[in-house]
């Protein structure tokens, strides 16, 4: 029932002055590069954008997972496609169902993937009208805006709700969880059905990032294996 766990370190917690080294750490130990784009409007913080993503594209072949925390995703997503992002993930709170379908057509025409992200207080039912076109659903387990926050208890229930909604619709989008994921929280979200685990601080602030990624992967996979057996 479960897909293979992917680990997506968020470079927001990386070393901005030595980003190439941060990306090498990801290449050695993880699967995707999670790029947290913040516009200072949809969220209070400002981070990185299109030129930075284009530069990342030049230095890595790993999938670039662009998490757009911006108020105007319909204007911005084509720029991230152009910059070479592989997964374009936008927030449900600022998109209509028609816009999601339009963006999905464009993104799929470019052979890339579309994800839709939900803030902690956004109900899962919001994605029901368009879940059939999504490659990924992102459940935020912290309020978007900053790395290093604590996991919001109960976020795993929303993961389970996405699984149920997807099953009812006969589709299998990846399910990503973002915020406060580490060795203590990975098992619960994995058992609930998460496939892609974003790790900011748990990866980059660890004494040994590769060991931390390996531990998180093993904990999540073992929990899923056990759930499958039981």
Q: Which residues bind Zn ion (CB under 5 A)?
A: 36, 67, 178
Closest by CA position to 215, among listed 191, 230, 197, 195 = 197
Phi, psi of 94 (to 5 degrees): -120, 20
Instruction: Give CA 121 to chain center in angstroms.
Output: 17
Tokens of 211: 């060991």
Residue nearest to ligand DX5 (CB): 200
Cα maximum dimension of the chain? 48
| Nearest CB to Zn ion, comparing residues 67 and 188 | 67
178: annotated active-site residue: yes
195: annotated active-site residue: no
Residue 13 in the binding site for ligand DX5 (CB under 6 A): yes
How far apart are the C-alpha atoms of 196 and 191, rounded to whole Å?
12
Residue 185 in the binding site for ligand DX5 (CB under 6 A): no
The CB-of-124 to Zn ion minimum distance in angstroms stands at 18
| Nearest CB to ligand DX5, comparing residues 90 and 181 | 181
Instruction: Candidates 14, 144, 193, 209: give the one binding ligand DX5 (CB under 6 A).
Output: 144
Q: Report yes or no: 149 and 168 within 8 Å, Cβ to Cβ.
A: no
Residues near ligand DX5 (CB under 6 A): 10, 12-13, 34, 36, 67, 142, 144-145, 147-149, 178-181, 198-202
């Amino acid at each position: 029932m479960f897909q293979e766990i992917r680990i997506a370190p968020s470079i927001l917690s990386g070393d901005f002055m030595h980003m190439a080294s941060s990306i090498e750490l990801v290449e050695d130990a993880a699967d995707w590069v999670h790029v947290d784009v913040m516009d200072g409007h949809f969220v209070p913080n400002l981070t990185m954008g299109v030129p930075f993503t284009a530069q990342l594209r030049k230095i890595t072949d790993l999938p670039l997972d662009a998490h757009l925390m911006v108020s105007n995703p319909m204007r911005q997503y084509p720029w991230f496609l152009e910059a070479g992002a592989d997964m374009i993930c936008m927030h449900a709170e600022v998109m209509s169902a028609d816009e999601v379908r339009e963006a999905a057509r464009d993104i799929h025409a470019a052979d890339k993937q579309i994800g839709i992200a939900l803030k902690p207080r956004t109900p899962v039912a919001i994605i029901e009208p368009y879940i059939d076109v999504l490659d990924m659903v992102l459940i935020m387990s912290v309020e978007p805006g900053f790395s290093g926050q604590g996991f919001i208890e109960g976020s795993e229930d929303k993961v389970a709700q996405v699984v149920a909604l997807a099953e009812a619709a006969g589709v299998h989008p990846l399910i990503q969880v973002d915020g406060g994921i580490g060795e203590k929280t990975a098992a619960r979200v994995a058992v609930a059905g998460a496939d892609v685990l974003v790790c900011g601080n748990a990866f980059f602030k660890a004494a040994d990032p590769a060991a931390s990624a390996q531990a998180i992967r093993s904990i999540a996979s073992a929990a899923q294996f056990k759930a499958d057996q039981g």
